[in-house]
């Protein structure tokens, strides 16, 4: 088994404020990561940190782009177990978007249609929640998600657990400390000191 990470976030951009106003939830954006340190996340969003009008497939990080610009962005990270085969398919599908992401656009009309509880699928277009759902379904991860998908819907997935909640900039340090602490505690159990 492997673990994937679903990241719900709120950056404070104008679009995220509008989404939050409609959904009345804490978070307005969703990303996926295969990296336990959450160094790189994948989603659909703005391609340039200072230009909200051009969007598409994005690799996100607190070290560059929107999350570097909006340092006080908050997030909640969820871990979810998948099989080795599902994990491999997610990797391959992400690799596809890395290579061909320029062929896809941000689905602004689809995002607006969510307000009216309508599903507006457009060819080669996604908004963030559509993309994460598509990626999971394409990788044979059984998820029962609604057609009109919103970021908070991912919190209802089975076998999902909260790993961290707080400022996105602080996540890498916190997770690294926990991983190091976990390894240290395990090493003490596996290799006790001689008496």
| E-strand stretches of 74-176 | 74-82, 105-106, 125-126, 160-167
Euclidean distance between CA atoms 134 and 119, whole angstroms: 14
Alpha helices (H) along 125-170: 128-138
**Residue ranges per structural domain of the chain:** 2-190
**CA dihedral sign, ordered 175, 180, 183, 189:** negative
Q: Taking 50 as the threshold, does the pLDDT of residue 195 lie above it?
A: no
85-121 confidence digits (pLDDT tens) = 999 999 999 999 999 999 999 999 998 898 888 999 8
Q: Taking 50 as the threshold, does the pLDDT of residue 41 lie above it?
A: yes
pLDDT at site 61: 93
pLDDT at site 183: 43
pLDDT at site 177: 60
2-190 maps to CATH 2.60.40: no
pLDDT above 70: percentage of residues in the chain: 88
**pLDDT top residue among 22 and 147:** 147
């Amino acid at each position: 088994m492997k673990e994937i990470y679903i990241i719900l976030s709120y950056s404070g951009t104008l679009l995220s404020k509008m989404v939050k106003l409609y959904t009345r939830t804490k978070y307005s954006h969703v990303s996926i990561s295969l990296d336990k340190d959450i160094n790189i996340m994948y989603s659909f969003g703005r391609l340039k940190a200072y230009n909200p009008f051009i969007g598409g497939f994005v690799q996100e990080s607190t070290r560059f782009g929107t999350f570097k610009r909006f340092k006080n962005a908050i997030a909640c990270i969820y871990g979810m177990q998948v099989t080795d085969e599902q994990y491999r398919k997610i990797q391959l599908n992400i690799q596809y978007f890395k290579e061909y992401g320029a062929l896809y656009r941000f689905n602004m009309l689809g995002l607006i249609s969510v307000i009216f509880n309508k599903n507006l699928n457009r060819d080669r277009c996604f908004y963030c929640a559509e993309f994460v759902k598509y990626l999971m379904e394409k990788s044979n991860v059984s998820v029962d998600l609604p057609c009109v998908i919103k970021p908070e819907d991912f919190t209802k997935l089975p076998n999902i657990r909260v790993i961290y909640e707080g400022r996105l900039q602080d996540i890498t340090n916190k997770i690294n400390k926990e991983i190091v602490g976990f390894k240290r505690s395990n090493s003490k159990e596996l290799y006790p000191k001689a008496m």
